[in-house]
């Protein structure tokens, strides 16, 4: 076996980043199966973990509570993509968006500027949601994120976006009425989320 010379510089392969345009083209060509849930994060395609009955119940309950609270002041999206830059389309469990004339659709998806709040419900995905998606949302300017940890029945709040990170973090096992960012006097009683889920 030959030793590499001291001045040898290893030529490491570079990851090829997929753009949102490439990602949509792949979907249109059927390269991304319609029954497989995926999301694009900084040029990489990630599989979404299949959801459990408990996960689905919590997301449904949150969706219901948010829609009742938000009314016409905003828009609640469930499992819908956000366009964050040219190489990212994450699919949060829920997002509260600013109301926009004409609404949101594939040719005009919501961006960070449209987003008031992102909610991820974590069961088997805590590390991915907390370690990968949370800092990603901060880097792209999403103002507030709530992570619901189903394993510990705890809600984690990340607020105070400053220089690409969340300066204010809090967690509670006893959430009560929590006000939504960017909306006038709109609160949702999170105490109703965990029981029976």
Higher per-residue pLDDT: 16 or 129: 129
Q: What is the mean pLDDT of residues 137-156?
A: 96
Q: Could you give phi then psi for residue 105, rounded to 5 degrees? A: -155, 180
In this structure, the number of other CB atoms found within 10 A of the CB of residue 52 comes to 12
pLDDT given at position 7: 58
Instruction: Enumerate the domain spans of the chain.
Output: 51-192
Strand partners, 171: 156
User: Which fold, 51-192?
Assistant: tt1808, chain A (3.90.1570)
Class of residue 162 by CB neighbours under 10 A (exposed 0-12, middle 13-18, buried 19+): exposed
In contact, 51 and 150? CB cutoff 8 Å: no
- Kindly report whether the global pTM for this prediction surpasses the value 0.75: yes
56 contact partners, CB below 8 Å, separation of at least 6: none
In this structure, the number of other CB atoms found within 10 A of the CB of residue 105 comes to 8
Say yes or no to pLDDT of 13 above 90.
no
Find how far residue 24's CA is from the centre of its chain. 19
Contacts 24+ apart (CB under 8 A), 129-134: 130/156, 132/41, 133/41, 133/90, 133/92, 134/158, 134/166
Give the CA diameter of the chain. Answer: 71
pLDDT given at position 58: 95
List, as one string, the DSSP characters of 29-44. TT-S-TTS-EEEETTE
| Cα–Cα distance, 104 to 96 (Å, whole number) | 12
In contact, 91 and 79? CB cutoff 8 Å: yes
pLDDT given at position 102: 78
| Span 68-92, pLDDT tens digits | 999 999 999 999 899 998 999 999 9
pLDDT given at position 6: 58
């Amino acid at each position: 076996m030959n030793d590499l010379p001291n001045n040898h510089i290893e030529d490491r392969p570079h990851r090829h980043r997929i753009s949102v345009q490439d990602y949509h083209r792949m979907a249109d060509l059927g390269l991304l199966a319609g029954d497989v849930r995926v999301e694009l994060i900084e040029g990489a395609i990630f599989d979404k973990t299949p959801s459990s009955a408990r996960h689905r119940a919590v997301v449904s309950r949150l969706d219901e509570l948010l829609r009742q609270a938000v009314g016409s002041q905003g828009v609640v999206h469930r499992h819908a993509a956000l366009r964050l830059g040219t190489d990212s389309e994450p699919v949060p469990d829920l997002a509260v968006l600013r109301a926009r004339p004409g609404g949101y659709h594939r040719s005009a998806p919501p961006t960070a500027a449209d987003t008031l709040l992102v909610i991820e419900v974590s069961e088997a995905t805590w590390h991915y949601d907390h370690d990968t998606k949370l800092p990603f949302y901060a880097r792209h300017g999403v103002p507030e994120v709530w992570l619901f940890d189903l394993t510990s029945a705890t809600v984690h709040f990340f607020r105070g976006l400053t220089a690409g990170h969340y300066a204010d973090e809090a967690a509670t096992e006893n959430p009560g009425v929590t006000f939504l960012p960017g909306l006038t006097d709109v609160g949702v009683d999170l105490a109703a989320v965990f029981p029976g889920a």
